[in-house]
Chain A
């Protein structure tokens, strides 16, 4: 198991490296961070542009810039991923990308975690029910709900949910759901209970929006996986042993049907991160999604790279965890 773990961890390193190259090259070739400055009317003094180019390291060649971005060696101390610096920003000379990310990470993580936990829990539940009552009305209903959720674009559904929240508040005449902002500011100075209800008010709608697509995909997957196991010989043998149905389902069917889901969930991480960009935008959260949009608007190369690296790392780490979990859950992998 130790060898397996070490091998998986070591295997993640080249993937991360490759991700960094791709991130850098794709962003670097996709636009000039100073295009706005150059287009300015009246044209700014060439020395101003030169100064900016120097600050943003645009006076160096692309391989040099990559090396600099990774290591920070030969830079001005504001760049180098390995030193924990993300590079200068176009947004302003004082804008610190790392600090901004750290500020917003908590907000986004809260949303992502809640969405993943609920999506996973509900997906397993509805998948298992669907599989056990295959072709029943309940199964058809859950299937319909699943496909509906899959088919709904996040930005549109977010808008609908927001409007529904507003409508609901008006209907009951009280502020039950908060539809704007992430609630960090409002939580200041509240006691534990107050903070909990505050979080509930602010998080419910965005969480529902963000989890929906993943829930739908995962519940379909869980249904298939469960059906396959329910028809397997070992479940039949478990019944033939005289185990009652609920024990068979829990111990033999569910336990094994969960194994393949770990991989799917890890891969689904990427989808959730995508979803946060749209969800945060609609609900106006100051999270990483909003950070990403601001970076795009400002042509902020290093900020974009930082965001991409972060989400890339999150996906790779999620896959690593899934691999390791697989090893724990499935003895066939463990002994490989």
Chain B
């Protein structure tokens, strides 16, 4: 069954979508079969959420609205899980921003 899902989430992490969060984000994206993409604006450009090169290249800082979309198998679950990871601040405490 093919599906499409989309979500928008605010990045609250102190230095934004940086090295350690990008690793977690792409790993989680890769665990879904669906095609997953991210963008910093609703009208794109869209980047492959499974590529750490592309995710890091967005340079998304704190306070950015991150757009996530997926199409294919379990698209809704993929978007939901990724948005939740960003909302949880990538499971990093505030103190991590300085050392990670």
A binds B: no
